[in-house]
Amino acid sequence: MTDTTVGANGAPGAAAAAEERFRDAPAPPAAAADGLCGVPPQAGSSARARGAGPAAPRPVPAARAAAEAPGAGFGFAVDPDHLPDGLVVADHTGRVVCFNAAAARITALAPEQALGAPIERALPLEDLEGRRWWALTDPYGGLATRRGQPERNLLLPGGREVLVSASYIRTRPTGPVRRLVVTLRGTEARRRTERSHAELIATVAHELRSPLTSVKGFTATLLAKWERFTDDQKRLMLETVDADANRVTRLIAELLDISRIDSGRLEVRRQPVDIATAVGRHVQALTANGQAPERFLVSISRPLPDLWADPDKIDQILGNLLENAVRHGEGTVTIGVSPHEKGTAVTVSDEGPGIPEESMARVFTRFWRGSKRGGTGLGLYIVKGIVEAHGGTITVGRGPGGGAEFRFILPVGAPAYLSQ
């Protein structure tokens, strides 16, 4: 059988293509099904000879197996062993005729043990309450209007969790089940997502608790004992409340940005941006807050190409990178702006200890804080999302002074209504 690799974006639809082919094609001989799942026909036959099921007919030629393969009617052949998810197919009698490599990996069951066996024995699934799933769903004897089962968490023997969905293939809308197609997926990816969400909730709760406690304490004190404090004491308390309120506002804005980045809904309102002026404005703000002016070195290589970007988002990028350089770096902070073949390049570097090589791959992930604690660990994740929303790229490396160097490139691009 000749296989053609399915593109990456077509991988999730491969199971659906297999299912569609099983709906229309006649039931292939058991030996052919074995060959399609990557199991030699002899192995399937020997398994049945040991009592797994009825004896298989003689192996069919490769050309016939390819013609009966899922997807053969569309001009290409799909080997079920190439599917990313586990695929198990049972015939009209409920016996397994296809058990691909992914299913074998997920269930830890050899294909020759599953082929020819009843589906409930090859996949002894239970729900989370310990009930046998096949007895509950009864695909062959239940309602004739059912088309399948949605994906749900089930348990394999030993308590291992797996995601299972099923499709009932009928000859006519209310006819008997001709094929039972079951897909299996591991739960590792879902578990990682759940852990990430739990970490986000824990981080937000921790970051909110400190400023809100401060705000509550100072406001309660002022309300209860207003006359006992001098004007200077009142001003100090109110300034602290204001700073903590700003911290809460900034955290909420970060959470909204993360939500938009993860869902692909981050909006970029492009306008002409003078990146050199924006850099100068951020440096002035840092020196006004107590940083020594000589700590910053700004290098602008002109002429710079016209930059169309979201000015608020550019301020957010520069603010995060400069704050990281000041807080976590040492020595001089160098900001360079120069033309690039793809647009405008901006670098921010310091002379601190830098970022260990083994940590550079995690810099732009959530909750990465480096060696020094502080902050939410979300800033660089948001920076990367904003840069990519502009069509740009951002990298991290070691700067000339030995510290960390962040470099982002924003492409030259005007709004669609100006480029038409």
pLDDT of residue 383: 93
Q: What is the pTM of this model?
A: 0.56
Half-sphere exposure of 25 (CA within 13 A, CB side): 23
Q: What confidence score (pLDDT) does residue 193 get?
A: 73
Q: Cα–Cα distance between 251 and 122 in angstroms, integer?
A: 51
Q: What is the pLDDT of residue 375?
A: 59
pLDDT at 18: 45
**108 φ/ψ sector (left φ>0, alpha ψ -120 to 50, else beta):** left
The burial of 319, by beta-carbon neighbours within 10 Å (0-12 exposed, 13-18 middle, 19 or more buried), is given as middle
pLDDT for 273: 93
Predicted pLDDT at 41: 40
Instruction: Show the DSSP H helices in 264-355 as ranges.
Output: 275-288, 311-328
Q: What percent of the chain has pLDDT over 90?
A: 46
Q: What is the pLDDT of residue 74?
A: 46
* Predicted local confidence at residue 402, as pLDDT: 83
Supply angle C-alpha 131, 135, 140, rounded to 5.
155
**DSSP category for residue 126:** B
Distance CA 117, CA 266 (A): 51
Q: What local confidence, expressed as pLDDT, does residue 374 receive?
A: 55
Which residue positions in the chain have pLDDT lower than 70?
Answer: 1-77, 367, 369-376, 413-420
Report, in angstroms and rounded to the nearest whole number, the Rg of the chain calculated over CA atoms: 31
Distance from C-alpha of 1 to C-alpha of 41, rounded to nearest angstrom: 13
